[in-house]
Structure 1
Amino acid sequence: MSERARAPRWRRVLWWVLGSIGALVLVAAIGIVVWSQVGVMAAEPEPLAAVRADDRIVITDDSGAIVLAPASGASDVGLVYIPGAKVDAWAYAARLSGVVAEDGVTVVITKPWLNLAFFDLRPLDAFTSLAPNVDTWIVGGHSLGGVRACLMATDADALALFASYCSNDLSGSGLPAISISGSEDGLSTPQKIEENRHLLPADAEFVEIDGASHASFGDYGPQAGDGTPTISDEEMTAQLTELIGAFAASLGD
C-alpha cells in the first residue's frame, strides 16, 4: 500500500485517539463537578439564625465570600477564612461571630470554587478587597482550607490554622502564626499537627483545645472519621473568640 493510501488511516486513528482523550477529560471534569456538589455539609440553622439576629454584626453576602463586619465600623484587623472541603461557608459564621462582635475583627469567609479550596485559585486580594478599610490581614482556614491558606500566607500579615497544617514550608517566613487544634480530632489528629509543626516559624503559637473534634470548628454536624467531642458549642466558640481575638490584638503591638 502506498504512503498516500496509508495517510488517511493514520489521520483517522489520530482523531480517534484525540477524541477518546477529550471524552475522558470531559467525563472526569463532569465527575469532579458532580462529586463536589454531593454531600456538602450544610450550616446548622439555629447557630446561623443567632448570627443573623446579632445587631453587633453587619453581614454582606457576596458571590465570592461572606463578610462579617463589626456594626461599630471600627476594624483594624481582618481574617480571611477558608472553609474545609465540602463544608458550607455559612457553617463557620457562628464560630467566628465572637471575634467580630467582641473584638472588632472583620471576617471574610470565602466560598471556594466547587466547594474545595484547592480548586479556588483566586488570590488573597480578591477577598481582602471586600473590606478595603482593613489594613492588617490574617489568612486562615479549617482543615483543607488551612492548607490552602498556607499557600497564600506570604501575601498576608499573619497565618491562623484551625484543625489544619501546612504542606509548604513557611518556617523561614517570619510570619506571626497560630495553630489551633482539637484533642479529639480524628482527621487532623494531634500527631499530624505535631509532625508538621516544623513547617511553621519556630515562634508559632500552638494551642490544643481540650475536648474539641474536627467538626467542633464549625456548625455542620458530625463528620465521618472524626473523634467524639466533649466540649460544648458555646465553650468552643468562647475559646476560639479568646484565642483569635488575642492573636489579632498582638499584630498591632
Structure 2
Amino acid sequence: MKQKYKFLIAGLILLLMIFLGGLFFVHSKTYQPLNEALNEAHSTSQYTVEETSKSIIFLPLKNQQKISVLFYQGGLVEEKSYSSIAAKLAKEGYPVYLVKHTLNLAVTDKNKATTIIADEKIENYVIGGHSLGGVMASQFASESSTKQLKGVFLLASYTDEKNKLNNLPISVISIIGSNDGLINKEAYQNGKDYLPDSTLFHTIEGGNHAGFGDYGNQEGDKPASIFPEEQQEETVQLLVEWLGSIEAN
C-alpha cells in the first residue's frame, strides 16, 4: 500500500515538473514589448493608462469617441507590445482595451472580451487583433448577436467558413504588410470569401508581420523595408478613417 502511495506521489511530481517545464518553454518563446511600447504604456496629458487583471486600458482625456476598440494580441506576443497603436488611437479619442489572455494566446479564451465589456460598461465597440488574435476576435464576432458590435479589424489575419462575418451587419477592415512572411496566404485569400462585400482591404507597402507591434523581429518573418513606427502610423490612420465611417453611419 505504501509503495502505491510512493508511485502516486512520484507521478504527481513528474506531472508538476512537466507542467512547469511547459510554462517555462512557452514563456521563453513569448515576444516581449520593446522600449518603444513600454514608453507608450504610461498616462500622458492626452490619455490615461490603467492596467487591470483582464486588460490594459487607454482612455482619452478629451474628445472621447463613442466607439471603443478591443484588441486581441498575436500568438505568444505580450499584449503591451501593441501599446504604440493603442496610444495613437487614444490620442484620436478612441478608448482602447488591450485584452490579456492566458499564456499570451487568444485561443485560450476567445470570449474574454465579454467580461471586459460588462465590467467596463462598454456600449458600442469594434473588436479585432493581430495574427492569431484577429482570428480569435473574428470567431468571437461571428457568434455575437449584440447590436453593440459595430465592426471587426484584422491585422495580418483572416477568418474562415466556420466563422464567417459576411452575414453580420458590421463593417470590416483587413490590413496586411506586403513583406509578411508568416501569414498563411491560402487561408488569407480563402478568408476573403467570408467577409462582407464592403470589407476594406489595404496592403502596407514594405510592412511585415511583426511591424504591427513593438516586439522585435519574429522568427520566420520577412524583413520590412519600412520602420515599425511607419507601419503602425499608417495602420492607425486607416483605422481612424474606418472608425469615422462607422460613426458617420
In the TM superposition, what whole-angstrom CA distance separates every residue of 1:68-110 from its partner, at most 9, and x where no partner exists? Answer: 11012623111110001111111001123211102x1111001
2:88 to 94, 98, 108: 98
Distance verdict in 2 for CA 1:121–1:217, change over 3 Å: closer
- CA drift at 1:241: 1.5
Output the aligned Cα RMSD: 2.6
So what's the TM-score if we normalise by structure 2? Answer: 0.84
3-state secondary structure, aligned to 1:38: helix
Seen in structure 2, the aligned counterparts of structure 1 residues 24 and 160 have a Cα distance that, compared at 3 Å, is: farther
The 1:51–1:124 alpha-carbon spacing in structure 2 relative to 1, beyond 3 Å, is closer
Question: What does the per-residue CA deviation read over 1:48-73, in whole Å, with 9 as the maximum and x for residues that have no partner?
Answer: 21452632121010111100110126
Partner of 1:220: 215
Aligned to 1:82: 72
Runs of 4 or more, structure 1, over 3 Å off, are: 21-35, 189-192
Structure 2 alignment gaps of length 5 or more: none
What amino acid maps onto 1:149 in structure 2? A
Q: How many residues in Structure 1 have an aligned counterpart in Structure 2?
A: 236
Bigger mean CA deviation after superposition, 147-156 or 210-219: 147-156
In 1, Cα distance between equivalents of 2:180 and 2:218: 10
What secondary structure does 1:248 align onto?
helix
Counterpart selection for 1:161 from 129, 135, 154:
154
Partner of 2:26: 36
Q: How far 1:26 sits from its partner (Å)?
A: 6.9
* Distance across 1 between alignment mates of 2:15 and 2:108: 16
Q: What is the alpha-carbon distance in structure 2 between the residues aligned to residue 86 and residue 106 of structure 1?
A: 24
What is the DSSP-based 3-state SS (H/G/I as helix, E as strand, rest coil) of the residue aligned with 2:202? strand
Match of 1:231 among 211, 226, 230: 226
Structure 1 residues 22 and 42: CA distance shift in structure 2, 3 A: same
Q: Secondary structure at the match of 1:228?
A: coil
CA contact (8 A) 1:51 1:57 kept: no
Which residue is 2:98 aligned to? 109
Among 232, 236, 240, which residue is 1:245 paired with? 240
Matches within 5 A, 1:102-181: 102=92, 104-132=93-121, 134-154=122-142, 155=144, 156-167=149-160, 168-181=163-176
Return 155-164 or 114-123, whichever deviates more.
114-123
